[in-house]
Amino acid sequence: MRSCLIGFALLTLSGTAASADTLGDARRHYNLGQYEVAERLARDAATDASRADAARVVLGRVQLERFRKSSDVKDFNLARESLRMVDATKLHTSERVELMIGFAEALFLEGRFAAAAQLFESIRARSALLGSSAHERVLDWWATSIDRQAQLRSPDERKAYYTQIIDRMTIEAADNPGSTAAGYWLAAAARANGDLETAWHAVLAGWFRAVLADEAENTLRADLDRLMTTAIIPERAAKLGPRVDVKDAEAAMIEEWTAFKNTWNRNSRSGGGTL
C-alpha cells in the first residue's frame, strides 16, 4: 500500500476580488505548499471577525500539513486547537466541507482510522464542491483509513474491509473512469484480499484508464507499476510453488508486464497502435 497520502487542496476563489482577499491568498499559498506564508496570511485574515472562523480552518489545515512533515506533536496540538475553535455556523457550505476534511485528517493522523473513515465517507459526495482533485483525495484517504483498520484485524476479518473498498471504487470507476483513487485501490484491495488474478487484471485495466486522469496519469501509472512489481508479481509467483520455480515464474511475469507497458506506451511503434 502507498506509504503516504497527498494533502488536500483548499477551495480557491477566483476573480480580481480574490486576489485582494487575504484569506484567498492564504488558500493559494497553502495549495502551493508555501505553508509559512499561508499561516501568516491566515492569521492576518483571522483578525477580521467576519472571516475569523474560515481563517481558522485554513490555519488548522496548514498546521496539520506541518505536522505531517515534522511529526512534532506541538504542530498537531496547534492544528487541533485551531480547528476546535471554529464555529461551523459561520462557514459557507464549501468551507464546512474543508472543516470536516480537517477533522477527518486529524483523526487519521491520531490513529483513529475507523472514525476517520466514517467522517471521510460522510463528506465523500460533497467533497466534489471543492473540485475533482479534492474528491479524489477524500476517496484516497477514506480507502487508506479502511486499509489501516483492516491491518489491525485478524486475517479472517480483513476481507470485509477490502470488499468495502472494492465496492465503493467500482462505483467510482463507473462514474469516472479516470478516477486515480479507483484506479489504484481496485487493484490494491484485490491484492490485499489475496485475489491476485483480479489484482493483476485490475492493474492492466487501470493502466488504460490512467489516460483519462489528466495530469495525474503518470502518478497513477507509477503507483500501479510499484504495486505490480513489489507486491502482486512476487505474491502471484509464490502461489505457483512448489510446482514451478518461483524465481523463474516471477521473471516471466515481470517480462510479461514490461512487454505490456512497452506495447501500450505512447511512444511505442510496435503492434501498429498506441495510446
What is the per-residue pLDDT across 53-69, written as a single tens digit (0 to 9) for each?
999 999 999 999 999 99
pTM across the whole model: 0.86
Going by C-alpha positions, the residue among 24, 7, 27 that lies closest to residue 16 is 24
pLDDT of residue 131: 86
| Segment 15-18 long-range contacts (CB within 8 Å, at least 24 positions apart) | none
pLDDT of residue 134: 87
Amino acid at 31: N
pLDDT of residue 275: 39
CA dist 161 → 125, 146, 181, 202 (Å): 20, 6, 16, 18
What is the per-residue pLDDT across 74-131, written as a single tens digit (0 to 9) for each?
999 999 999 999 999 999 999 999 999 999 999 999 999 999 999 999 999 899 888 8
Cβ 140 vs Cβ 7: under 8 Å: no
Average pLDDT over residues 254-265: 95
Band of the pLDDT at 6, cuts 50, 70, 90?
low
What 3-state class would DSSP assign to 164? Answer: helix
